[in-house]
Structure 1
Amino acid sequence: MRAADKVIELASLDSEPQSKKDRKYPEEEGKRYFAQLGEGWDAINLKSPGHYRIKIRVSGLPAFTGRVPRLSLWHHQHKKSVMGMDISNKEDEPKTIVLEGLFSAGGYKILNNAQTKKHPNGGVIRFRTGTIDAGQKLASLTGGFRSDKTKIVDEQGRPVMPTLLIDWVEVEGPLTTEVNRAKKSGIFPMKEDDQEELTASLKRFAERAWRRTVSDQEMQRYIKFIAAEKEAGVDFRSAYKSALSGILVSRSFFNLEEGSPNENRSRLNNFELASRLSYFLWSSMPDEQLFTAARTDKLHVPETLKKELKRMISDPKIDRFLDSFPRQWLQLHRVGMFQPDPNLYPEYGPWLEKSMIMETTNYFAEMFRNNLPIREAVESDWTMLNSRLALHYGLPEPKETKLMRVSLEPESGRGGLLTHASILSLTSDGTRHRPVHRGAWLSETILAQAPPPPPPNVEPLEPVKSNEPKKTIRSQLEAHATQSNCVSCHAKIDPLGLAFENFDAIGRWRDKEKVEGGTGENPPVDASGTFPTGQKFDGPQEFKRVLAEDEKRLANAFVQQLATYALRRVMTVDDRPHIEKIVENAKGGNYRLRSMIEHLITSELFLNR
């Protein structure tokens, strides 16, 4: 109830905050703040949450290795970065970055979170910060500081570390946009004593909150409540706000209601369909255009649905789907669940982990926006890279500082989701790769065939003893899989995971498996195998090529995942005919992503309860 009261208070026109603009300089105007890694400038303090416009005048000095500084905005109370951006413009060519959106209250620090081969995780505290004159070159700072601080330049005059430079920071807000004003208008009745206008205002609010038509009868309890509050001495505006709060804590607001005893329970009505479509693609309530289509009883018409789909895809809110769906489908919440051992993987850190996830979500978004066929989820000659991932993969650094699409050479070993570091790490345990986990994940997620659970009391693989020759996990698995109660499942699962033996627990390419303990040299990896169909492959590239040829199977699994996300439930045996029909209809379009979504939303599976 307190949350509802707060929402109503923020939505009230009389609670609009006073906006102001403030520019902050380091020490004084004409000075420039600089930071290598770790320490930062506490330049921003927001007293209240809201919509703000933040401008930062910034430039940078790259290290002689080519690594540029990375601007990060760190929220103290939440203990996390709310944005990150590589800065490639030169010292004498500063640019103004504009950040606009919703920000939480509290203090923010501007810091340089660049990662290098020597210090891949950033955040090392013995780096230099300070101020210089705006026209002064950083390379001129050659001495006069403690020996435990990193130098700006080395003996050859080359920058040692990527260094961030800030001229000023400007904060404007909280802002009230015309869009927000339009949303707030009409919430309160113009006349307090007009019963018809009171009912109309409550209905207008409730229809938006409950996402359906509302009867006068349903509003009577709220009208009676307002009258009772006024009789008790409460002013009208406060009583009305309390009634609105009551609407927001009702079951109709919290639940996506589908069906009632008085309706045909087999098919969604127009308002229920509008909500299903909107929460599927926008993760939010329907907009006015969807509501209008629902009111005119046209939303069930296939052509109307296709038109609305096209419009919704072009709306910025589609980004919510492009980020949320691949996270659920590919189980990206598991990335970092088992933190890699820092002794084994010292280069692993927050920025690398975030970049891994961003590669995968942005890869899906690129497929979606270009309506690519589902086979490119498995096999492609491109990916989405930033400088940190390029360093991790051993690939050339992208020309731009942001995450961008890059072409891949065949020998890169990459291309497609299956060789993303995010996928390869979430199927590992923090110390070593897990081929069985990788195979089980691929079977369940990409092929929609959940493997049976392992038998009870299965003994884990033992570490290699110090007096034994080093051996790969693959060779240990092959010995384990000969047991009678294990062989049938491992024959189906293991080849799917062993195809990626060239990748370690954090997704780096390798030709030899690093084995802790044992005698002799680290053994070479073997990524060959045989599909359950008998078809052989040698390495991840051949495996992906063979898998991508079975487009219908990939499409069927993808539609199941898509329908699970859209309908918010697991698919059952009864849903199979609907899934197969959607896949068959998408065949003519080469199983392209947006085409499959179109066939899903016009299917009986989506239109029915």
Structure 2
Amino acid sequence: HLRLSDDTKDVPTAGLYRLSVSAYSFFWDKGAVLPAKATEAYSLAAGTVLTGTRTLGYFDAPKDKPGVSTVVVWLEPADEIFFNPVTLGHGHGSERGAATMTHSGVAVEWLDVEGPILAAWPPPGRQLLYGGLPLVEWKPESNTPRPRRPTDPHAPLQTVAPADPRVDAERLLRAFMARACRRPMADDEVRPFLALFEAKLAEPTTFEEAIRTAYKGVLTSPQFLFLSHTPGQPDLYALASRLSYFLWSTMPDEELTRLAADGSLGKPEVLRAQTERLLNHPKARNFVDNFTGQWLKLRDINATQPDRQLYPEEAWEADVAAYTVDSMAEETRLFFDNMLRKDLGVSHVIDSPSSFLNEPLAKLYGIEGVQGAAMREVALPPAAGRGGIISQASALKVSANGTTTSPVLRGVWVATRLLGREISPPPPGTGGIEPDVRGATTIREQLALHSTDASCASCHVKMDPPGFALESFDVVGARRDKYRVLKDGGLNRDGPPVDASGQTADGTPFQDLAGLKAILLKDPDALARNLTAKLLTYATGRAPAGADRIEVDEIVARVRGAGYGVRSIIHEVVQSEMMRGRP
């Protein structure tokens, strides 16, 4: 990894930083540096060895000349920067050293770190915390408490100089609480935190230390931590918060707050315009990431890793696999973002003519002509057997256990996540199915025996069919015709043949995933109803129940003429009774 400085902390202060790296690929031939045979990729990550790291991005190291990649990220004071050539793998060394080694490599020319990047000075945070109060240099003879030493040990000691500490503190607290708690605050709500300020100031301590104590109290209060709303009672401040946290995953901005204050947000046309504004803002990517993370369980993408006995390929080495796995999740996020931006219909969840791929994903899917780390929209050839979220590698990985696939697990995932069907938990005492990695029996044979029990068959007939259709994909989402098995102490890729046929609960047969897709696409109302319910649950914090389901059906009916577009559904969700809180 690369340290940013020789100081005790690598980042001087928390904030936004611009990282630029100049790198290129080469080929090492027993001491000679030769032109690279291919463009390699590398990742940048930030964090520490003890607390863990977070990936900042994946970049190409060109093979013909050095290339500069830039990313703007938030860094914390303890962060170090980690560089990993993710396409190289390991095991290139030898006991005799570099003179005998022949392999590809990535060379780093330089790393430039610029920051913290501030949009204005003083920064908005200082204005929020201290308003327009002046800063003065502290001197020992001032007979006032000594302020904290700033991050820069050579900077002069400065302190906030209020004209009237209590009056200024109350003014600042009201403004801070209105912003933090997302609504105007009553006198009795401000009073306890003003008392915190006065008690701290009396110790004695500086004004800024005392007011920060009050701010800390606000940030640990229920008013800040929880979104409050009384069902059946319209509250435009609550609506502004609900809309902002729905589409931005953060508190309302000044415009939303102003429209709540003057009552305009209650008008359907204003609410629709604000919904468009929020969806068109870069912060809407927070919605895409968080909603798909919950709805499709993308947050579990790293919960399992491929069994190295069954999947010994270099692509699944620990330091290399993250590149492909992170790309899997990003494909799905970009795919849903594209549906949102273009108002594409919910049928794209089941089938689509294109997706978003980079080189490792294209290799996994058997699609040629895609090179580099950048994700881009790619037309899917029919022979690839892809299309829709249902056959994306992320969905196939989160619904497998890393060793074997299960039509039950995948069937439940499809039924509950994509189709909106409720699957009851198994009866008490029902035994599970252990995977047979030796290939003596297939999962279909095991399930056939398991489903002879009538109490089991009633559920399996609903959840197994989608899982059977997805048996043509392994635990990492690659196409297969035969199962991998362990035999005679080694890996046998020529195991029992895969059977992806089945029939739906109503007896309609299908031969493979394409056949199942054709059946599911005949009922777009069901797909729209499921997505509407998932969006309402995400937006309001509760699943539709009782009379809410009538409203869900009404939303589906209204978007039918618009092709069941995702953006259209979101607009209807925002205008719904559940969202607006009307009785």
Range that drifts further, 168-177 or 559-568: 168-177
Amino acid at match of 1:362: L
Compared with structure 1, are the counterparts of its residues 528 and 360 closer, same or farther at alpha carbon in structure 2 (3 Å cutoff)? Answer: same
Q: What is the match of residue 281 of structure 1?
A: 247
Deviation digits for residues 470-529 of structure 1, max 9, x if unmatched? 442112222322233322222222112101121112211111223445999633222112
Q: What is the match of residue 427 of structure 1?
A: 399
Structure 1 counterpart of 2:548, from 575, 582, 601: 575
Q: What is the match of residue 176 of structure 1?
A: 118
- 8 Å contact from structure 1 (residues 199, 216) kept in 2: no
Compared with structure 1, are the counterparts of its residues 424 and 224 closer, same or farther at alpha carbon in structure 2 (3 Å cutoff)? Answer: closer
Amino acid at match of 1:146: G
Q: What is the match of residue 142 of structure 2?
A: none
Compared with structure 1, are the counterparts of its residues 550 and 227 closer, same or farther at alpha carbon in structure 2 (3 Å cutoff)? Answer: same
Structure 1 counterpart of 2:559, from 586, 589, 594: 586
Q: Secondary structure at the match of 1:476?
A: helix
In structure 1, C-alpha distance between the alignment counterparts of 2:74 and 2:335, rounded to whole Å: 26
Structure 2 counterpart of 1:188, from 122, 125, 130: 130
Deviation digits for residues 272-304 of structure 1, max 9, x if unmatched? 000000111111000000001001111121101
Q: Secondary structure at the match of 1:352?
A: helix
Q: What is the match of residue 271 of structure 1?
A: 237
Shift of 1:431: 1.2
Shift of 1:307: 0.5
Shift of 1:218: 3.2
- 8 Å contact from structure 1 (residues 375, 549) kept in 2: no
- 8 Å contact from structure 1 (residues 471, 515) kept in 2: no
Deviation digits for residues 6-41 of structure 1, max 9, x if unmatched? xxxxxxxxxxxxxxxxxxxxxxxxxxxxxxxxxx65
Deviation digits for residues 557-580 of structure 1, max 9, x if unmatched? 111111111111233233211211
Q: What is the match of residue 3 of structure 1?
A: none
Q: Secondary structure at the match of 2:428?
A: coil
In structure 2, C-alpha distance between the alignment counterparts of 1:470 and 1:546, rounded to whole Å: 32
Q: What is the match of residue 418 of structure 2?
A: 446
Structure 1 counterpart of 2:482, from 489, 497, 512: 512
Q: What is the match of residue 25 of structure 1?
A: none
Alignment of 1:366 with 2:338, yes or no, is: yes
In structure 1, C-alpha distance between the alignment counterparts of 2:396 and 2:290, rounded to whole Å: 20
Q: What is the match of residue 5 of structure 1?
A: none
Deviation digits for residues 337-369 of structure 1, max 9, x if unmatched? 232211111232222222221221221112112
Q: Secondary structure at the match of 1:445?
A: helix
Deviation digits for residues 124-146 of structure 1, max 9, x if unmatched? 26459xxxxxxxxxxxxxxx972
Q: What is the match of residue 29 of structure 1?
A: none
1:125-136 correspondence to structure 2 within 5 Å: 126=92
Amino acid at match of 1:266: G
Q: What is the match of residue 16 of structure 2?
A: 51
Structure 2 counterpart of 1:253, from 211, 224, 235: 224
Relative to the length of structure 2, the TM-score reads 0.84
In structure 2, C-alpha distance between the alignment counterparts of 1:540 and 1:531, rounded to whole Å: 12
Structure 1 counterpart of 2:538, from 565, 583, 591: 565
In structure 2, C-alpha distance between the alignment counterparts of 1:320 and 1:462, rounded to whole Å: 38
- 8 Å contact from structure 1 (residues 470, 520) kept in 2: no
Alignment of 1:206 with 2:157, yes or no, is: no
* Aligned-pair identity (%): 31
Alignment of 1:556 with 2:498, yes or no, is: no
In structure 2, C-alpha distance between the alignment counterparts of 1:147 and 1:199, rounded to whole Å: 68
1:353-432 correspondence to structure 2 within 5 Å: 353-432=325-404
Q: What is the match of residue 214 of structure 2?
A: 243
Amino acid at match of 1:542: G
1:21-60 correspondence to structure 2 within 5 Å: 42=3, 45-60=10-25
1:94-173 correspondence to structure 2 within 5 Å: 94-106=66-78, 108-115=80-87, 122=89, 124=90, 126=92, 146=97, 150-151=101-102, 160-161=103-104, 163-173=105-115
Relative to the length of structure 1, the TM-score reads 0.81
Compared with structure 1, are the counterparts of its residues 496 and 197 closer, same or farther at alpha carbon in structure 2 (3 Å cutoff)? Answer: same
- 8 Å contact from structure 2 (residues 483, 493) kept in 1: no
Compared with structure 1, are the counterparts of its residues 328 and 149 closer, same or farther at alpha carbon in structure 2 (3 Å cutoff)? Answer: farther
Compared with structure 1, are the counterparts of its residues 499 and 197 closer, same or farther at alpha carbon in structure 2 (3 Å cutoff)? Answer: same
In structure 1, C-alpha distance between the alignment counterparts of 2:191 and 2:98, rounded to whole Å: 76
Q: What is the match of residue 8 of structure 1?
A: none
Q: What is the match of residue 474 of structure 1?
A: 444
- 8 Å contact from structure 1 (residues 464, 516) kept in 2: no
RMSD of equivalent CA atoms: 2.9
Range that drifts further, 545-554 or 241-250: 241-250
Amino acid at match of 1:268: P
Q: What is the match of residue 429 of structure 2?
A: 457
Q: Secondary structure at the match of 1:87?
A: strand
**Gap runs ≥5 in structure 2:** 28-34, 134-161
Q: What is the match of residue 69 of structure 1?
A: 41
Structure 1 counterpart of 2:516, from 529, 543, 551: 543
Structure 2 counterpart of 1:337, from 277, 294, 303: 303
In structure 2, C-alpha distance between the alignment counterparts of 1:220 and 1:476, rounded to whole Å: 67
- 8 Å contact from structure 1 (residues 335, 426) kept in 2: yes
**Gap runs ≥5 in structure 1:** 1-39, 117-121, 129-143, 152-159, 260-264
Range that drifts further, 416-425 or 317-326: 416-425
Q: Secondary structure at the match of 1:565?
A: helix
Structure 2 counterpart of 1:496, from 466, 491, 495: 466
Q: What is the match of residue 158 of structure 2?
A: none
